[in-house]
A and B are shown apart, each in its own frame.
Chain A
Amino acid sequence: MADRTDLKAELERKKQRLAQIREEKKRKEEERKKKESEVQQRAEKATEESDLDRKRKETEDFLQSVGISPEPPLVPTPMSPSSQSVSTPSEVGSQESVDGGTVTRMRRLGASKIVQIDFMPKELVTYSKETQTPIAPNLSEGFFSFPTEEEEDEELPVVKTKPQSDEQEEEDPQETNKDLPRELTEEEKQQIVHSEDFLMFFDRSIRVMERALAEDSDIFFDYSGRDMEEREGETQAGLNMSFNRQFYDEQWSKHRVVTCLDWSPQFSELLVASYNANEDAPHEPDGVVLVWNMKFKKTTPEYIFHCQSSVMSVGFAQFHPNLVVGGTYSGQIVLWDNRSHRRTPVQRTPLSAAAHTHPVYCVNVVGTQNANNLITVSTDGKMCSWSLDMLSQPQESMELIYNKSKVVAVTGMAFPAGDVNNFVVGSEEGTVYTASRHGSKAGIGEMFEGHQGPVTGISCHNAMGPIDFSHLFTTSSFDWTVKLWSTKHNKPLYSFEDNADYVYDVMWSPVHPALFATVDGMGHLDLWNLNNDTEVPTASVTVEGSCALNRVRWASGGREVAAGDSEGHVWIYDVGEQLAVPHSEDWSRLARVLMEIRANTDGEQEGAIEVTG
């Protein structure tokens, strides 16, 4: 039986050995299989890779033939060298294990909190303030309220206030737009028509329209005087003097200086002008006198008179409407009559020592209808008195000598209004003298010194009014000034120094007490109103061409002024109503002005000698 156990043990050992051997065989077979499979795999891989390589090479060659460089192979070629070497599968395994490790680690990662840092910018506080002139009454109220808000809070952003103001702007124009096109109801219209403002306006407008329709003079004149204050300055200056017409004759006026002007006392539209010699036409008569007519539009003179010598002064014979008296350069006094058909003088004074031998610059008819004389003065100081009926010899003659020694070279003479005996003369030396024809003090009386140049024009005040200003006279001179004198003072009362050239003539207005006209060498015709301003002329005009104006004469009505220039033109200017027509208070105003002037000058000149008589 021990044999059975021994046999069983032996059988079991053998079975175990067989199992081990089988297992080993299996393992070996498995290993072999693995090896073979790996080898096969590798071989396949190698073959695969070799196939791929071949294909790659083919494509590379193809691409190179085309011209494209071979790209780096995307398939990991390191695999191929590694495949040649005997690599352990452990690499693959390790890779797998590594991949497993990272996967596990990646599961533990998470996002962190966001770390933020910020710094606030510094806020620049700006402040702006605007002002706006009011566009309309509505808008101005809105704008005024804003500056106060802005002043209180400086930190208040300006942007906030702007939208508000914009809104207001939009609102207000809309409101005004809404108001305008709204038509008034009948009731409202009636209300307006009956309101006081409208009635007043309507009343005034009716008058203006009526006048406008009726006539063509200044319809806008307001008699209540309200407009006078507003219309001062430029507009008034335009109305003061306006050019009316000019008289010029191609044949007779050309190249001749207008030496004297006179208006006819009988026919206010007639104006006589005397001309001196025309040097360019030696065969023409030296002296020409033309009578012009203002009334009609014709441009030729009414009468043409000649004379052998230049006519220096001319005048209508005061009480003989048909006669024109002329004083000539030769000293002859000539008389023309417009009833005759002759152009030459009908009467002439003799060229003798009894009469004048020097140029006669002044001719004047003084007196009354029945007892009148022609007074003439020449530059040698001789004064003659004639009767117009007989010019063969003077009725009386007189030498004007000052202080029994000095002969007065008279350039101008003027008789005060209403006086036939006393008169004033201006001389070449610049002194002015009073003189008288008859009486105990016949001859030169007082001397008035003041001018620094020859006296060119002298004019006595002759506007008749409540106050008598006949002692006043003005003189113009080459010293650029016009002086106002009184026969009672031997120093000038006032000196007008606005001119910038020789002042050739001056004349008082025959109607306005404070108005006189001056002309100067620059072509200016100035009207001075002493009640208005004593420093500058109230109205001034420059004639066309700016020739020197030699003479100025007011028409007898005081509404027109005639000025003669050095080129033979006679310019007629209309003087505006406001300036020319005097008001009742103008006399008293002038008296006051004179008192002021006297007060000023008395302060300056203490050496003034009061002249009596």
Chain B
Amino acid sequence: MEDYQTGEETAFVVDEVSTIVKEAVEGAIGENSYQQSRVKQWTNNVVEQCLSQLNKLGKPFKYIVTCIIMQKNGAGLQTACSCFWDNTTDGSCTVRWENKSMYCIVSVFGLAI
């Protein structure tokens, strides 16, 4: 298994990253209801928080973080993504979070340097 050979420190750990993301989302949005005026701020906060936390991990990775906040209005949403990378070292993590008034989707892609 080449994964273990490369070392635990230089692999993309999904659980770790998802924990980070969840904390970031909770911290930014919490139990607020959807407000058009504040949504922009929330997405910024989520993304920045995620990135800073990921950087603190200190791993040799390039990170890409996306955040989508959608109001619960009865509309449907469908997204898909696929990557072409080194499956052994690179990975992605998508976190779905929701409360009564909105959905929040955060995707983190980590590419080993």
Which residues of A come within 8 Å of B, CB atoms?
Answer: 105, 108-122, 124
Contact = CB atoms under 8 A, between A and B. Distances in A.
Nearest to A119: B77
Given A108-B86, A109-B84, A119 B74 contact: no
Interface in B42-101: 70, 73-88, 90-92, 94, 96
B76 A117 contact: no
Nearest to B2: A108
A314 to B, nearest CB: 96
B84 A117 contact: no
B52 to A, nearest CB: 23
Contact of A120 (B76, B83, B87): B76
B69 to A, nearest CB: 12
B84 A112 contact: yes
Contacts of B20: none
A111 to B, nearest CB: 5
Interface residues of B, number: 25
Nearest to A108: B86
A119 B68 CA distance: 12
B74 A117 contact: no
13 contacts: A108-B88, A109-B85, A110-B86, A110-B87, A111-B82, A111-B84, A112-B85, A112-B87, A114-B81, A115-B94, A118-B76, A118-B77, A122-B73
Top 4 A-B pairs ranked by shortest CB distance? A121-B76, A122-B74, A118-B78, A112-B83
Contacts of B73: 122
A119 B107 contact: no
A389 to B, nearest CB: 114
Contacts of A109: 84-87
A116 to B, nearest CB: 4
Given A115-B81, A121-B75, 14 more contacts: A108-B86, A108-B88, A110-B84, A111-B82, A112-B82, A112-B84, A113-B82, A114-B80, A115-B82, A115-B92, A118-B79, A119-B76, A119-B103, A121-B74
Contacts of B91: 112
Contacts of A120: 76
Interface of B: 70, 73-88, 90-92, 94, 96, 103, 105, 107
A570 B107 CA distance: 107
Nearest to B73: A122
A112 B92 contact: yes
Contacts of A116: 78-81
Contacts of A119: 70, 75-78, 103
A70 B86 CA distance: 43
A113 B93 CA distance: 11
A116 B81 CA distance: 6
A117 to B, nearest CB: 5
Nearest to B77: A119
A118 B94 CA distance: 12
A269 B70 CA distance: 102
B83 A111 contact: yes
A118 B74 CA distance: 13
A117 B88 contact: no
Of B73, B85, B103, the most chain A CB neighbours within 10 A belong to B85
Contacts of B84: 109-112
A116 B92 CA distance: 12
A114 B107 CA distance: 13
A111 B92 CA distance: 12
A112 B74 CA distance: 31
Nearest to B105: A117
Given A111-B84, A124-B74, A117 B90 contact: no
Nearest to B81: A115
B80 A115 contact: yes
A340 to B, nearest CB: 110
Nearest to A121: B76
A462 B18 CA distance: 117
Contacts of B78: 116-119
